[in-house]
Structure 1
Amino acid sequence: MMLIQQFPDISLDDTLFVFALEAEAGSVFAEVNTVFTGIGKVNAAIALTKAIARRRPKLIVNLGSAGSLRHGKGEVVCCTRFVQRDMDVTPLGFARYQTPLADIPLVLEQGAVIPGLPVETCGSGDSFEINHGDAPYDVVDMEAYVFALIAREEGIPFVCLKYISDDAGSDAAQDWAVQVHLAAKAFERVLFTAVD
Structure 2
Amino acid sequence: MTFPAVLHDVSLADTLFVFALEAEAGDFFTGCNVLFTGIGKVNAAIALTQAIQRQRPRLIVNLGSAGSQRHAKGQVICCNRFVQRDMDVTPLGFARYETPLADVPVVLEHGLVHPGLALGVCGSGDSFETGHVEAPYDVVDMEAYVLALIACQERIPLLCLKYISDDAGSDAAGDWAQQVHLAGQAFKQVLCNPLR
Give the TM-score normalised by the residue count of structure 1. 0.95
Other-structure match for 2:36:
36
Q: Which runs of 5+ in 2 are unaligned?
A: none
Does structure 2 retain, via aligned residues, the 8 Å contact 1:4–1:192? no
What is the alpha-carbon distance in structure 1 between the residues aligned to residue 15 and residue 4 of structure 2?
10
What is the alpha-carbon distance in structure 2 between the residues aligned to residue 130 and residue 83 of structure 1?
17
Q: Deviations over 1:97-117 (max 9, x none)?
A: 000000100100010001111
What is the alpha-carbon distance in structure 2 between the residues aligned to residue 117 and residue 21 of structure 1?
23
Structure 1: 4+ residue segments shifted above 4 A: none
Does structure 2 retain, via aligned residues, the 8 Å contact 1:98–1:105? yes
- Give the total of aligned pairs: 193
User: Residue 3 of structure 1 aligns to a residue in which SS?
Assistant: coil
What is the alpha-carbon distance in structure 2 between the residues aligned to residue 105 and residue 22 of structure 1?
31
Other-structure match for 2:4:
3
What is the alpha-carbon distance in structure 1 between the residues aligned to residue 5 and residue 91 of structure 2?
45
User: Residue 188 of structure 1 aligns to a residue in which SS?
Assistant: helix
User: Residue 83 of structure 1 aligns to a residue in which SS?
Assistant: strand
What fraction of aligned residue pairs are identical, expressed as a percent?
A: 72
What is the alpha-carbon distance in structure 1 between the residues aligned to residue 135 and residue 30 of structure 2?
36
Q: Which runs of 5+ in 1 are unaligned?
A: none
Give the TM-score normalised by the residue count of structure 2. 0.95
Alignment of 1:1-196 (within 5 A): 2-3=3-4, 6-7=7-8, 9-193=9-193
- The structural deviation recorded for 1:119 is 0.3
The two structures, once aligned, show a CA RMSD in angstroms of 1.3
- The structural deviation recorded for 1:3 is 2.2
Q: Deviations over 1:147-176 (max 9, x none)?
A: 000000000010000000000000000000
User: Residue 28 of structure 2 aligns to a residue in which SS?
Assistant: coil
Does structure 1 retain, via aligned residues, the 8 Å contact 2:6–2:12? no
Does structure 2 retain, via aligned residues, the 8 Å contact 1:83–1:123? yes
Does structure 1 retain, via aligned residues, the 8 Å contact 2:48–2:147? yes
